Amino acid sequence: MTFELVSADEDAAVVKVTGELDITTIGDLEEAVQPILERGPQRLVIDVSSLRFADSSAIALWVKWSTIVRGLEIHDPQPLLRRVIDSMGLAQTLQVTP
C-alpha cells in the first residue's frame, strides 16, 4: 500500500491510495492523514481508483473520517470495492463518486 497527498489547501485535500489496504497497513494511512484532519478541511477526497483491495477495518477508518470531515468523498472505487461498500449500505455515508 502506498499513498500520496495529491493536493492540500485550507478547504480541501486529495489523498491517493494505491495497492491493498488492510488491518496491517491502515495504521500508516491513518497517521499520514491525521495532520490533514486536524486542519479541519471542508472536503477530504480519498482517490481509491488504484486501490485493489480494502478490508472492513479500512472501510471503518473512512467512515470514522466521514464523522470528522463533513465533505469526505471516496472517489472512483474499483467495482469490487464499490460492491463491498454498497453491500454494507455505506455508499451515501462515504459519498462514493462518481
**Binding interface with other proteins (CB under 8 A):** 20, 23, 52-53, 55-57, 59-61, 63-64, 67-68, 79-80, 83-84, 87-90, 93
Helix, strand, coil abundance in the chain, percent, nearest 5? 35, 35, 30
- Pick 79 or 98: Cβ nearer other proteins: 79
Q: What is the largest CA-CA distance in the chain?
A: 34
Least Cβ distance, residue 7 to other proteins (angstroms): 26
DSSP labels for 19-32?
A: EEE-TTTHHHHHHH
Least Cβ distance, residue 20 to other proteins (angstroms): 7
Least Cβ distance, residue 10 to other proteins (angstroms): 23
Are 59 and 72 in contact, with CB atoms under 8 Å apart?
A: no
- Pick 39 or 83: Cβ nearer other proteins: 83
